[in-house]
Structure formats: C-alpha cells, structure tokens
C-alpha cells in the first residue's frame, strides 16, 4: 500500500502527519508506526499523528509516540495538526478538535498557532520538584547549568526510577529572567530528549507561577528548538484559559509504501 504523508515541526518537535479521514492507515499496527518514526530506517519523527473525521468537532487528532504506542496529549502535535487541517482546507483560521484528553480550541495566523490546553487544577509541590498533568504527566525540576546538564541520563533515571513503567515526562528548567525560562525535556514514549515538548512547556510555565518564581501570566519558554509562549489565568488553585502559542510548519511531503 502507498499513502501520502506530510512532515510537520513545531519548535523542532517533528511529526509524521497522515490524513486518515478515509481510514486508510493501519493504526493498530504499533510496529508500523515505530518503523515509520525511526530516523534511520523510516521517515523519522518524534511521533505520528492521524487526522480523522469527528462528528462533534472539525476533526480528531490521534497521536502515537515514536515507540508505536498511542500516546497522551501532545501540545506541539496539536498545534501542527491545526496547521495540517488548514493545509487540507478543513478549517480557515479557527478550529475545534478532539484529542485523547478531550476537546480543544485553536486559532492559526500564518504559521503561528495558539492552542487552548485543558485546565489544570492540581499541581503537586515536592521537595525538589513539581508534578502536574497538562494532558500528559510532567515532572518539573530546577537545575543550574542547563546547557551542559545530562538530560538523557538524568531524565531516563527519573522517568523509570521515580515514576515506574507508566512513567512521566521529565523537564529540567533554568530561570533566565522574570518572565523567561529555559527547558530541556526527556519524553517518555520517545525515550530520549526532544527539541521541544508542548505539554512540557505548558507545565513549566504553570509550575514557575505556582512556586512564585514569576507573577506574570504570559511566560516565554525557550526550548532547544525555539521559543514558545504560554498564557493563562489563575482561578484560586486552578489554572484556566491556558494557551500554548508558537510556530507550526510543514517541512515536506511524500509517499510511503509498506
């Protein structure tokens, strides 16, 4: 079988995008997904995303990690799917879509996508870190010397040693100024450091506000692949109206055979 695919990236977080509105993709085949995401023997990507029909919204986003398993919410993937939907003329400049964690709204202006994330009502503050779920689980930890920090080794150790098989994404953060933070993320499912993680960036912004490191409700987070902005409102102990904002771009398109 031969089907067309597109490659999208959002601040270096890259995805294979497939229009699956005609149910052409064998989405229960984890080996196939993993092989397509392999950077040496396949197309290469942090994940694979299917855009499908949805009765209650403009489209449905189905996200698979690079290991071939269906994943939790992916923020950069969501932004890239919105850009892909615009390319397919499914939407114009606004969208409502369904993901694994529920309904999302988004706007797109050229290649800049603002994605509304789910509300966050619980942030667990631990001795040296915070834990919260922004559609995916995230460990947030402050470090010094982030540029030279051993993200892969330390991330892998915490991902399995602290959070077990189900795991958590691990974010290491350094504050740059009152409203700007740098982050590097070890992602479960990819089992490596990625250049950017949208739900991780969202988690970092909320965690920094929760711990009083910033009082701003518009925060810039610098990833290895570029800058993202997170805007939100605080309502008591909850964070609402959360938006993840940044670029999403088509890199290339082609056909894949299997």
Residues acting as catalytic residues: 74, 197
CA 246 to chain centre: 12
Structure tokens at 174: 């350094």
Beta-strand pair 137-142/130-133 = antiparallel
Alpha-carbon distance 83 to 24, whole Å? 21
Alpha-carbon distance 152 to 161, whole Å? 14
Residues 51 and 18: beta-carbon distance below 8 Å = yes
Q: How many CB atoms lie within 10 A of CB 218?
A: 13
Candidates 22, 21, 26, 23; CA nearest to 90 is 21
Tell me phi and psi for residue 168, to 5 degrees. Answer: -150, 150
Alpha-carbon distance 128 to 108, whole Å? 37
Q: What string of DSSP letters covers 195-214?
A: S--HHHHHHHHHHHHHTTS-
Q: How far is CA 34 from CA 37, 103, 204, in A?
A: 5, 27, 28
Q: How many CB atoms lie within 10 A of CB 256?
A: 16
Tell me phi and psi for residue 125, to 5 degrees. Answer: -95, 115
Length of the chain: 258
């Amino acid at each position: 079988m031969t089907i067309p695919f597109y490659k999208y990236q959002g601040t270096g977080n890259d995805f294979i995008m497939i229009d699956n509105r005609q149910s052409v993709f064998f989405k229960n085949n984890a080996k196939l997904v993993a092989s397509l995401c392999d950077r040496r023997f396949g197309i290469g990507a942090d994940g694979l995303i299917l855009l499908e029909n949805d009765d209650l919204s403009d489209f449905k986003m189905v996200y698979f990690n690079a290991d071939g398993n269906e994943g939790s919410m992916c923020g950069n993937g969501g932004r890239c799917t919105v850009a892909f939907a615009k390319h397919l003329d499914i939407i114009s400049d606004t969208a409502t879509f369904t993901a694994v964690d529920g309904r999302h709204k988004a706007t797109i202006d050229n290649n800049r996508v603002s994605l509304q994330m789910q509300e966050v009502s619980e942030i667990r503050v631990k001795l040296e870190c915070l834990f919260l779920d922004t559609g995916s689980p995230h460990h947030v930890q402050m470090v010094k010397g982030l540029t030279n920090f051993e993200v892969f080794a330390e991330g892998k150790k915490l991902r399995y040693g602290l959070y077990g098989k189900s795991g958590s994404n691990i974010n290491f953060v350094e504050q740059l100024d009152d409203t700007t933070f740098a982050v590097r993320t070890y992602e479960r499912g990819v089992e490596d450091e990625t250049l950017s993680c949208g739900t991780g960036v969202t988690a970092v912004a909320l965690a920094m506000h929760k711990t009083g490191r910033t009082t701003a409700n518009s925060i810039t987070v610098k990833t290895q692949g570029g800058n993202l902005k997170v805007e939100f409102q605080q309502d008591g102990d909850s964070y609402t109206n959360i938006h993840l904002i940044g670029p999403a771009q088509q890199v290339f398109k082609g056909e894949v055979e299997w």
